[in-house]
Amino acid sequence: MKKIIVISTSLRHGSNSDMLAEKFLEGALSAGNSVEKISLVGKNIQFCRGCMACQKLGRCAIKDDVNDIMDKVLRADVVVWATPIYYYEMSGQMKTLIDRMNAMYEQDYAFRDVYLLTTAAEDEAETPKRAEMGLTGWIDCYPKSRLAGTLFCGGVNDACEIEGNPKLQEAYELGRSIF
């Protein structure tokens, strides 16, 4: 059994990326894993100020929701990011959270496998590549971890448009493959 954290970064209710995250979560639970989903909806996540206090404190000096999220990520075996693609890149709130988790850099961490689930209105194969590169930059700072898998569903724009899409079953199977 693995401890899995799924971070859903879309702020839109009924978002396609969140629905993909839910199916991944269902699959991971069916394989007997412990899964917690963190939605960024309603979270207070301020921008990094570049003060570098986190490197001395081991946590961010800004008092918002990031330190709690960071603690969960540090203790997880698997981290799953779900994001809509905006202008061929990860969502701004995902990037802001990644920047704010700078305090993790000098700490021990449990996660080894990182997954990326993406959705976009565009349907070209290269659509999620910049988001993957951005996430890989974060993963590179944690040499015991790796990008273990990605799943992209293009051609979905409106809320809940992904409903009935075969990519939902792929997300379920990807989650179920973790044990």
Q: What is the pLDDT of residue 106?
A: 87
List, for residues 113-156, the tens digit of each pLDDT value: 999 999 999 999 999 999 999 999 999 999 999 999 999 999 99
The dotted CATH code for 3-176 is 3.40.50.360
- In angstroms, the CA 133 to CA 157 distance is 22
Which CA distances in Å does 10 have to 15, 68, 103? 7, 19, 23
pTM score? 0.97
119 closest CA partner among 3, 1, 22: 22
Regarding beta strands 78-84 and 113-120, do their DSSP bridges make them parallel or antiparallel, or are they unpaired?
Answer: parallel
